[in-house]
Amino acid sequence: MGEVFIGTEAVASGVVTRHELARWYRPVFPNVWAPRRSLTLDERAYAAWLWSKRCGVIAGVAASALHGAEWVADDVPIELIYNSAHPPRGIVARNERVAADEITTIRGLPVTTRARTAFDLGRYQRRGKSIERLDALMRAAPYSDEDVLLLAKRYRGARGVKVLRALLPLVDAGAASPRESWLRLLYIDAGLPKPRTQIPIYDEYGNLLRTVDMGWEEFKVVSEYDGDQHRTVRAQYVKDQRVIPQIERLGWFVSRVIKEDRPVEIIARTWDAMIARGWRP
């Protein structure tokens, strides 16, 4: 991240001239400069930290990405725990308390710990987006619900704590994409039992056919979210065409969901299958 720097410092130390600064670099945030190219999330987080006079702590979605969570775009706003009434575009500053035991260091940057990151993700995102982000963080860097709840107790009365408490039991590291998180929450909100994720299905000879996205083993009902790769990647399409019928021949009901399906249709066919298999609401 050495290509991201504070302009006045670089000029004063003779690293670059003002002419070179204007020709080869661009301002990312006030007085923070970088090469004239797209920046990675790591570089933008570093730039935001420099803008905060090296005092801010990377938090929220950007912190989850630094912990390894997937599905975070490079251009997301960088959330900082830092006191600033008017942060520049691309930075969200929150004047909040953060204790020393809630801060860790990742690639030289001060970042909220996994538990503190989860604490913030569950309070500042919309419910569905919070579940997606919490799932992704749990998948990449497992955190303890107990640790998050201890923070809720430490910051009793903070914004969103009540919502956070309700979300934690719904988090599942088995979600392999944001759409799988969305689908699981759709089923739960419809009144179906919470599905188990990543269910292995074997044939009669003990060979693994597929690990499906989610389902209810007791009723032999499973649900697969078919993302774009299932349609555009020929090998994946062929595999689906061969494996899904084998699973169905073993007595499983497979609900295949695509982006164009209406939620009411998804719920109806899965609900009906569960009822037919003996589930009673």
Q: What is the mean pLDDT of residues 32-53?
A: 97
Span between the terminal Cα atoms of the chain, in Å? 55
Tokens describing residue 94: 């929150």
For residues 219 and 152, state if they share a domain.
Answer: no
The mean pLDDT of the chain is 94
User: Residue 196: inside a domain, yes or no?
Assistant: yes
For residues 137 and 194, state if they share a domain.
Answer: no
- The residue written with tokens 């260091």 in the block is 105
**Please, how many CA atoms are within 13 Å of residue 5, restricted to the half-sphere of its CB?**
16
Extended beta strands in 65-207, E state: 78-81, 91-94, 103-106, 109-112, 196-202
For residues 226 and 264, state if they share a domain.
Answer: yes
pTM: 0.92
Give the 3-state secondary structure percentages of the chain, helix then strand then coil, rounded to 5.
45, 20, 35
CA distance 209 to 246: 8
User: Residue 62: inside a domain, yes or no?
Assistant: yes
Tokens describing residue 212: 């499906």
pLDDT for position 242: 80
For residues 143 and 209, state if they share a domain.
Answer: no
**pLDDT top residue among 208 and 242:** 208
Given 152, 170, 188, which residue is the final one in a domain? 170
DSSP 180: H
Q: What is the mean pLDDT of residues 98-124?
A: 98
Q: Find the CATH number of the domain harbouring 203.
A: 3.40.960.10
- pLDDT tens column, 171-190: 999 999 999 999 999 999 99
- pLDDT tens column, 231-275: 555 566 666 778 899 999 999 999 999 999 999 999 999 999 999
Q: Is the pLDDT of residue 195 over 80?
A: yes
Q: What is the mean pLDDT of residues 3-28?
A: 96
Given 127, 151, 170, which residue is the final one in a domain? 170
For residues 157 and 81, state if they share a domain.
Answer: yes
Q: What is the mean pLDDT of residues 199-206?
A: 95
User: What domain range is 23 assigned to?
Assistant: 1-37
Q: Is the pLDDT of residue 34 over 90?
A: yes
Residue 264's CB is within 10 A of a number of other CB atoms, namely 9
pLDDT for position 240: 72
pLDDT for position 87: 98
List beta partners, residue 196.
Answer: 215
Instruction: Flag the least confident range among 91-95, 184-188, 208-212, 234-238.
Output: 234-238
Tokens describing residue 145: 């619900």
Q: Is 170 helix (H, G, I), strand (E, B) or coil?
A: helix
Q: What is the mean pLDDT of residues 214-221?
A: 98
Q: Is the pLDDT of residue 230 over 60?
A: no
User: Residue 228: inside a domain, yes or no?
Assistant: yes
User: Residue 46: inside a domain, yes or no?
Assistant: no
